[in-house]
Amino acid sequence: MLRLVLPILLLLAACQSEPEQLSQEPPAPPVVELSGIPSGHILGMAPKRVTDARKNPRVYLLCKETGLVQEERVGDDLGFDFHPLTPGSYRLTIKEPTAERDSWSYHHRDLELTADQGVEVKLEPLDNPAYFRIRAAKNTPPLIFLLTDADLEVPPKNQLGDLLEADPLPSEKIHYSFADDGHGPFDVPPLPAGHYQIMTIAIDWEPGDPPVELRAWPIELRAGETRTVRLQKRLAEVTIR
């Protein structure tokens, strides 16, 4: 009888020990810390070349997949940080105030954001930039002036506002704009050399003035050179030297 009882006891002991082994939790995975810029961020510093504290840059971010636009009005530290962001294609536009009363310089960047990534945007000084300045005859009326890509189709004049402030993202084809009395001279911030287009339209009109039209003229900016644009005949003509 003893020989029969001993194997049974050993079998019972083995069966009782199995639940204890199955109930043990697996060891926790090691904690991994990511260094650098947190994922899902697009951040950077906006330039500012004027001292007027009331004129701070504005920064816009367009998600190309969804069409969603986010806007930031940066503070005195000039920093911006869009987050959290999903992976995708984005366009960043920085609208920088310049010295004149209502003038802006536009910086555009196309960015790709992948998973677990942050993008830091730095606007470096241009190598061998081009320059131009704007002068106007004394009888030039108050106007809107744009410098755009050469291939931008001239819109109807009643759609100019949509081109400048579209939900609220400015067009990526605009590089400089001002709305002022037009007397100047205005020195435009440095630009890459290349072919551009000038657009002008009067925002005030008096009897005897030419019809209020949105007019366009081509201009080539050459590296290391300064071109002068002179507005004449109450915006009916320009000369470029």
What is the model's pLDDT at position 168? 66
110 & 188 share domain: no
Q: Which residue has the higher pLDDT, 41 or 21?
A: 41
Tell me the one-letter amino acid at 238: V
83 Cβ contact list (under 8 Å, min separation 6):
38, 40, 41, 42, 43
Instruction: Please tell me the pTM assigned to this model.
Output: 0.77
How many domains are there within the chain? 2
113 & 155 share domain: no
Q: What is the mean pLDDT of residues 82-88?
A: 90
225 & 131 share domain: yes
102 & 141 share domain: no
Question: Tokens 């190309």 appear where?
Answer: 64
CATH number (domain holding residue 74) = 2.60.40.10
Checking if the pLDDT of 121 tops 80, the result is: yes
What is the model's pLDDT at position 3? 44
142 & 231 share domain: yes
Residue 104 and residue 178 in contact, taking contact as beta carbons nearer than 8 Å: yes
140 & 60 share domain: no
82 & 153 share domain: no
28 Cβ contact list (under 8 Å, min separation 6):
none
Residue 95 and residue 172 in contact, taking contact as beta carbons nearer than 8 Å: no
Domain that holds residue 89: 37-122
Strands, E assignment, 137-191? 143-149, 174-180, 186-187
Residue 19 is assigned to a structural domain of this protein = no
Tell me the one-letter amino acid at 237: E
Q: Domain end: 65, 100, 122, which one? A: 122
Residue 10 is assigned to a structural domain of this protein = no
77 & 137 share domain: no
The CB density around residue 11, as the number of other CB atoms within 10 Å, is: 10
* Percent with pLDDT over 70 in the chain: 79
CATH number (domain holding residue 161) = 2.60.40.1120
Residue 80 is assigned to a structural domain of this protein = yes
Residue 192 is assigned to a structural domain of this protein = yes
144 & 235 share domain: yes
Residue 1 is assigned to a structural domain of this protein = no
Is omega for the bond preceding 97 within 30 degrees of 0, making it cis?
no
105 & 181 share domain: no
Checking if the pLDDT of 188 tops 50, the result is: yes
Q: Domain end: 122, 143, 158, which one? A: 122
143 & 233 share domain: yes
Listed ranges 49-53, 166-170, 207-211; the one with the highest mean pLDDT: 207-211
CA distance from start to end of the chain:
119
Residue 174 is assigned to a structural domain of this protein = yes
Q: Domain end: 73, 96, 122, which one? A: 122
Alpha helix positions (H), 50-168:
160-164
Checking if the pLDDT of 193 tops 50, the result is: yes
Residue 51 and residue 98 in contact, taking contact as beta carbons nearer than 8 Å: no
What is the model's pLDDT at position 33? 33
Residues comprising the chain, all counted: 241
Q: Which residue has the higher pLDDT, 105 or 100?
A: 105
What is the model's pLDDT at position 37? 47
